[in-house]
Amino acid sequence: MLEAILLIRRGTAGEPPRHEAFTLAFEPGESVLDGLRRLREGADPSLAFRYACLNANACKECMMLLDGRVIYACTARLEPRRMQLDPLPNKPLLRDLATAIAPPDERLPSD
């Protein structure tokens, strides 16, 4: 089995950015999203990221940065190396890798 080291941006808006390292065993062909889901299920249930998977590569909810490049976590593949994951820089950060998707004028009121 191969191993990836995922350096995942943690925290909320207003906090200094920090990265937490997770070592993840994987089979060739597994996606970054597969790895994140396994990490949340087995290692850290507080890990925040978005995905919908209604139609491959159409929902855009799992977009994030991988080593500084915008990717879909559902189509990017895990590799046996250090892989840095960060939230999209042009969207408001909610927590960890999760950003606000809808513009403020399209969101439901929160009260």
| HSE of 77, CA atoms in CB hemisphere, 13 A | 7
- Distance from C-alpha of 65 to C-alpha of 55, rounded to nearest angstrom: 21
Domains and CATH numbers, the chain: 2-102 (3.10.20.30)
Calculate mean pLDDT across residues 56-65: 78
- Distance from C-alpha of 9 to C-alpha of 99, rounded to nearest angstrom: 12
Share of the chain above pLDDT 70, in %: 86
pLDDT value at 9 more than 70: yes
Q: What is the pLDDT of residue 94?
A: 93
* pTM score of the predicted model: 0.86
- Distance from C-alpha of 41 to C-alpha of 56, rounded to nearest angstrom: 22
Q: What is the pLDDT of residue 38?
A: 96
Q: What angle do CA 70, 35, 13 make, to 5 degrees?
A: 55
- Distance from C-alpha of 101 to C-alpha of 15, rounded to nearest angstrom: 20
Q: What is the pLDDT of residue 102?
A: 64
The residue among 63 and 52 whose pLDDT is bigger is 63
Q: What is the pLDDT of residue 101?
A: 77
- Distance from C-alpha of 64 to C-alpha of 93, rounded to nearest angstrom: 11
B/e letters for 76-87, b = 16+ CB within 10 Å, e = fewer, are: bebeeeebebbb
Token pair 């915008």 is found at: 70
Q: How confident is the model at residue 48 (pLDDT cuts 50, 70, 90)?
A: very high
Token pair 């997770």 is found at: 22
